[in-house]
Amino acid sequence: MWQEFHSVEHCGRLSGLILQGALLAHEISMLIDAAFNDLTGKIIGAAIEVHRHLGPGLLESSYLDCLHQELAAQQLRFDRQRTVPLVYKGVPLTSAYRIDLVVEDLIVVEAKSVERLLSVHEAQVLTYLRIANRPAGLLINFNVAKLLDGLKRIINPRYTGPNGVPPVPEA
C-alpha cells in the first residue's frame, strides 16, 4: 500500500518541488542581500573609521556616539535607541526593546564592546530584525584589533517587506 502512494515518480515530483522551494528561498535571500550591500557598506565604512580613531577597549556608548557622527557626515538618516514594542499573540505588551541604531529605516545596527561575539548576540539581532520587520542587520563588536573580525551581517529570513508582503525576485 505504501508503494502505491509513494512511488518513485511521486518522490521525484516531491523532491523537485522541494528543490524549487529551496532555490526560490535562496533567490529571495540573494535579492534582499544585494539590495542592501551599498547601505551596509557605508555603515561598515563608518564603523571602520570610528574604530581606526578610537581602537578597542572603550564602552559601547563611546563607539555609538562617534558612529552617529560618521553616519550624519554621510547624510544617512538614523534613529538612536529606537523603541520597538513587544507584541505577543497580537496583544501589545508594556515590554519594549531598544535597538541601538536603525539606519535609513532599513538596517538594524547593534554595537558591542565585548571580548568576543556569542551566538546570543546574533540571536538578539535576529530578534530585533523580526520584531521591527527590518530586512538586514549589522552586529559590530568594537573590542577587537581589526574591526572586520568583529563584524557580522545578518539577513532577516522572516522579513515581510514594508507593506507586510514578502519581496519576490524578478524573473
15 pLDDT exceeds 70?
A: no
CB 138 within 8 A of CB 153: yes
CA distance 158 to 137: 13
Give the helix/strand (H/E) hosting 58. Answer: none
117 pLDDT exceeds 50?
A: yes
Give the helix/strand (H/E) hosting 37. Answer: helix 37-54
Confidence tier at 9 by pLDDT (50, 70, 90): low
CA distance 52 to 17: 49
Helix (H, G, I), strand (E, B) or coil at 79: strand
The x, y and z cell numbers of residue 67, run together, are 558612529
Domain assignments of the chain as residue spans, ordered by start: 1-35, 36-155
- The better pLDDT of the pair 170, 79 is held by 79
92 pLDDT exceeds 50?
A: yes
pLDDT score for 2: 46
Confidence tier at 169 by pLDDT (50, 70, 90): very low
pLDDT score for 36: 77
Helix (H, G, I), strand (E, B) or coil at 159: coil
78 pLDDT exceeds 60?
A: yes
pTM over 0.85: no
Average pLDDT, the chain: 83
Confidence tier at 62 by pLDDT (50, 70, 90): very high
Amino acid identity for residue 29 in this structure: S
11 pLDDT exceeds 60?
A: no
CB 81 within 8 A of CB 71: no
CA 21, distance to chain mean position in Å, is 22
- Tens of pLDDT, residue by residue over 121-156, are 999 999 999 989 999 999 999 999 999 999 999 999
